[in-house]
Amino acid sequence: MFTRAYPSGFKAKVIQRPNFYKKFMGIIVDFGGSDPQSLSGGAHFLEHKLYAKKTGDISQKIEALNATTNTFTSYNETMFYVEFLEHWRQVLPLLFELVGTTHFTQENIAKEAKIISQELAMYQDDPSWQVTHDLLGKMFPKSKLAEDLTGTQTSLQEMTPQILSEIYQKNYYSGNLEFVACGGFSDNQAKSILREVGKLQKQYFRNEKKQRIAEQAFTATTEKESKIAGNVTIPLVGVGIKLPSFETLNSNLTKGQLQILIEMMLEARLGSSSNWFENSQKSGLVDIPLSISVTYTRQGNFAIISGSTHNPGDLVTQIKQQIKFGRIVASNFDLQKKNFISNSIRELDQVENLAIEEAEYSLDNESRSKLYQKIQTLSFSEFCEVYEEIVAKSDIFTTILESENEK
């Protein structure tokens, strides 16, 4: 891997994957949908509108090189990237033009608002979205986490060129951006890429050192259990764990390491290879494995576990018991580590997954390789000790989505 930190604060890295024909280049922004912004959904709206240039849709220029471009907005980051096979010298400046120039008009914003409004309406009809939205609203009320990353129907209609420009100017500057490339680049190509990146970041982004976005704290609601109605034939259960700030833990593990540790423990207690799941499947409580995710953000940390069942009350009770008291043995812990390591090895064969993950960890000053090495050497006793402290400092919330006909 070749890395470079420029005087402007802009950072870049080239990850070499010898014998890989596919290539990837991306720019990640340390700003996302849950961070402070003038209107909800501003980060996501901006992601969409950066493709609009005075000369038209820049994606057409990228596609003319037989390349594909994509973007995503998450809670605390936005990423723009291009996947291609050749012509990196033509792709690279187009990527910087994509992220580094704007063209906001009342007309193109009004048109985009209608498109995103339809996208939001589609999300809101999804049962999983409804459960997650309800849980986040209880765990982090009055926060951007409690709203969809795309915003609200009201905020979409209120978006203006001025608001988008303000959001862009505040967050799209040299110290808040990082570049990553991944693929079968030679040493000479990697060095050339970093030289070109140095020129382009000077050309497109104002020189400003990083101003970190402060972490926020939100008090959860007193309502910890709720039932909502939706378009489901089988009730959908959601259990949300409002995790403590990782800085308050008596552990030297990083945020990324703690996220993985919590995922491993929840998988060990509730996942497809757990004794609990085997017994629950035999008894008919669940048919398929639960969905388990763990997320850390500047607005708060949380885990969400969900699954469908004809006995929602029983499933909620059992999930809560497993979170707090579920028994795990060293052999199950070792199995989770093996699964984690094998998955990480498989990711090395997907240049886009490897590059995106490396870029995301880099924003938190973490190294993917060091993070994975630490997980491999983590002892069972340390694993249990840290998890027990986390659970003791956490709050649990539940949502049951029932059929509208049953309400």
213 in any annotated domain: no
Distance CA 45, CA 47 (A): 5
Domain count, the chain: 2
Confidence at residue 407, expressed as pLDDT on a 0 to 100 scale:
52
Confidence at residue 406, expressed as pLDDT on a 0 to 100 scale:
61
Q: Which of 24, 4, 62, 363 is nearest to 197 (CA)?
A: 4
Distance CA 4, CA 202 (A): 14
**96 and 180 fall within a common domain:** yes
66 in any annotated domain: yes
**264 and 387 fall within a common domain:** yes
Q: Which residues pair with 247 in a beta bridge?
A: none
Place of tokens 């764990």: 241
Q: Per-block average pLDDT, block size 10, for the chain (407 residues)?
A: 97 95 98 95 97 97 98 98 97 99 96 94 93 98 94 95 97 98 97 98 96 92 96 96 96 93 92 93 97 97 98 98 88 82 79 94 89 86 92 98 80
**50 and 168 fall within a common domain:** yes
Give whole-number Cα distances, 403 to 39, 221, 230, 232, 316, in Å: 33, 25, 5, 5, 17
Q: What is the separation of C-alpha 225 from the centre of its chain, rounded to a whole number of angstroms?
A: 26
219 in any annotated domain: no
**242 and 333 fall within a common domain:** yes
**156 and 239 fall within a common domain:** no
**300 and 331 fall within a common domain:** yes
**97 and 186 fall within a common domain:** yes
Number of Cβ within 10 Å of residue 303's Cβ equals 23
pLDDT tens digit sequence for 249-283: 999 999 999 999 999 999 999 999 899 999 999 99
**144 and 230 fall within a common domain:** no
The CATH number that applies at residue 78 is 3.30.830.10
Helices marked H in 78-172 — which ranges? 88-100, 106-124, 127-139, 153-158, 161-171
**197 and 160 fall within a common domain:** yes
Q: Which of 304, 135, 133, 141 is nearest to 218 (CA)?
A: 141
Domain boundary among 149, 169, 204: 204
Q: What is the separation of C-alpha 189 from the centre of its chain, rounded to a whole number of angstroms?
A: 30
pLDDT tens digit sequence for 124-141: 999 999 999 999 999 999
Q: Which domain does 306 fall in, by range?
A: 225-403
Confidence at residue 221, expressed as pLDDT on a 0 to 100 scale:
95
218 in any annotated domain: no
Position 166, amino acid: E
**265 and 133 fall within a common domain:** no
**381 and 295 fall within a common domain:** yes
| Packing angle of the helix pair 161-171, 42-49 (nearest 10 deg) | 100
Domain boundary among 204, 238, 254: 204
122 in any annotated domain: yes
